[in-house]
């Protein structure tokens, strides 16, 4: 098992994967959260991870982030097997995870949160506040956002806190940015700003793994999508040519024809017609028809 089980498809093979999972399995007691799942993240792409609740998305992320060790299979960094003994190992390898609700230190400034524990110092070990501030301004410029380095974290919106976390990832030279449902608590405007930051990072060569229940966001932001269902890899490939319905079917896993088996009937009768079906947080305005 020294080789990745699945290579990139020729059509999307623009750059070698920076981070990959090869046939990874992970169980919690009797629960098989991931079974033989492979996935590769390339520099300069935003990759969506889709699946219903319980599909294994967070387990996959935690495996990439060094929180979980796989029971089987491998994590590959620059094509080589790597073992992360903890989150610090993954961070040192350039992998940053942005969670839905970041936890900054409320009494510290934005700049202090970003550089905590590694502030530039001057003589007598005193923190060089000006250098910290300037470095933070540089990070914000790179992200194309305006946030004063001196503002305390207390009182920042969740969206701004996420930006601070992203700036922190950038300060660690992260090459892979993993975002677990980052837009769940954001307004439309905040989501647009986050997407603009993500695109900026992508254009600077980062690989981004983006988890969202919202299919419109996936289609807007991402180049490729991997779908998981019940811990199994269902598909991984370009979004081009896929419809939202295709994606829903992969996530939910049942062609409606399986739910309503074919009966003797004239071919072409509409057996079921669904118009603008919405399941809060999962899919929106999905319409389709099933014919016998």
Q: Which spans of this chain sit near Mg ion (rule: CB under 5 A)?
A: 57-58
Shortest CB 11 distance to ligand ADP, Å: 27
Site string for ligand ADP, 30-69 (x = CB under 6 A): -x-x-----------------x-xxxxxxx----------
Shortest CB 200 distance to ligand ADP, Å: 27
| Complex with Mg ion: residue 58 or 136, whichever CB lies closer | 58
Q: At what angle do helices 188-203 and 158-171 cross, to 10 degrees?
A: 10
SS3 label, residue 132 = helix
Shortest CB 68 distance to ligand ADP, Å: 8
Please give the backbone phi and psi of residue 144, each rounded to the nearest 5 degrees, phi first: 70, 30
Whether residue 115 contacts residue 170, with contact meaning beta carbons closer than 8 Å, is answered with no
| Complex with ligand ADP: residue 11 or 30, whichever CB lies closer | 30
Shortest CB 27 distance to ligand ADP, Å: 8
Selected range binding ligand ADP among 16-24, 27-35, 86-94, 98-106, rule: CB under 6 A: 27-35
Q: Which helix (H) or strand (E) holds 114?
A: helix 110-115
Whether residue 103 contacts residue 153, with contact meaning beta carbons closer than 8 Å, is answered with no
Which is nearest to 217 in space by CA: 261, 186, 255, 258? 186
Which is nearest to 186 in space by CA: 288, 98, 121? 98
- The yes or no reply on residue 227 touching ligand ADP (CB under 6 A) is no
Please give the backbone phi and psi of residue 257, each rounded to the nearest 5 degrees, phi first: -60, -30
CA distance 228 to 118: 38
Shortest CB 72 distance to ligand ADP, Å: 16
| Complex with Mg ion: residue 54 or 238, whichever CB lies closer | 54
| Complex with ligand ADP: residue 95 or 251, whichever CB lies closer | 251
| Environment class of 49 (CB within 10 Å of its CB; exposed 0-12, middle 13-18, buried 19+) | buried
CA distance 287 to 281: 16
Whether residue 70 contacts residue 45, with contact meaning beta carbons closer than 8 Å, is answered with no
| Complex with Mg ion: residue 57 or 250, whichever CB lies closer | 57
Which does residue 28 touch among Mg ion, ligand ADP, none (CB within 5 to 8 A, set by kind)?
A: ligand ADP
Q: Which residue is nearest to Mg ion (CB)?
A: 58
Q: Report the chain's terminal Cα–Cα distance, integer Å.
A: 45
Which does residue 51 touch among Mg ion, ligand ADP, none (CB within 5 to 8 A, set by kind)?
A: ligand ADP
Site for ligand ADP in 246-275 (CB under 6 A): none
| Complex with Mg ion: residue 53 or 103, whichever CB lies closer | 53
**Which residues of the chain form contacts with ligand ADP (CB under 6 A)?**
28, 31, 33, 51, 53-59
């Amino acid at each position: 098992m020294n080789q990745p089980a699945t290579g990139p498809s020729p059509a999307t093979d623009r750059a070698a994967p920076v981070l990959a999972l090869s046939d990874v399995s992970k169980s919690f007691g009797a629960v098989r959260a991931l079974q033989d799942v492979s996935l590769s993240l390339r520099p300069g792409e935003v990759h969506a991870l889709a699946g219903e609740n319980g599909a294994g998305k967070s387990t996959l992320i935690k495996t990439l982030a060094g929180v979980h060790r796989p029971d089987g299979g491998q994590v590959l960094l620059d094509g080589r097997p790597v073992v992360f003994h903890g989150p610090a190992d993954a961070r040192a390898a350039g992998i940053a995870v942005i969670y839905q609700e970041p936890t900054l230190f409320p009494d510290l400034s934005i700049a202090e949160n970003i550089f905590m524990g590694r502030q530039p110092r001057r003589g007598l070990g005193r923190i060089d506040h000006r250098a910290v501030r300037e470095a933070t301004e540089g990070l914000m410029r790179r992200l194309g956002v305006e946030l004063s380095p001196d503002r305390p974290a207390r009182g920042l919106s969740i969206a701004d806190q996420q930006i601070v976390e992203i700036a922190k990832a950038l300060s660690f030279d992260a090459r892979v940015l993993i975002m677990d449902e980052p837009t769940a608590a954001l307004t439309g405007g905040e989501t647009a700003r986050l997407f603009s930051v993500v695109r900026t990072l992508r254009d600077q060569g980062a690989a981004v793994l983006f988890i969202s229940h919202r299919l419109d966001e996936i289609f807007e932001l991402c180049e490729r999508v991997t779908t998981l269902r019940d811990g199994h890899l269902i598909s991984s490939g370009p979004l081009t040519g896929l419809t939202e319905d295709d994606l829903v079917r992969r996530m939910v896993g049942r062609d409606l024809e399986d739910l309503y088996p074919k009966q003797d009937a004239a071919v072409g009768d509409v057996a079921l017609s669904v118009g603008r079906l919405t399941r809060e947080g999962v899919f929106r305005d999905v319409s389709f028809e099933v014919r016998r």
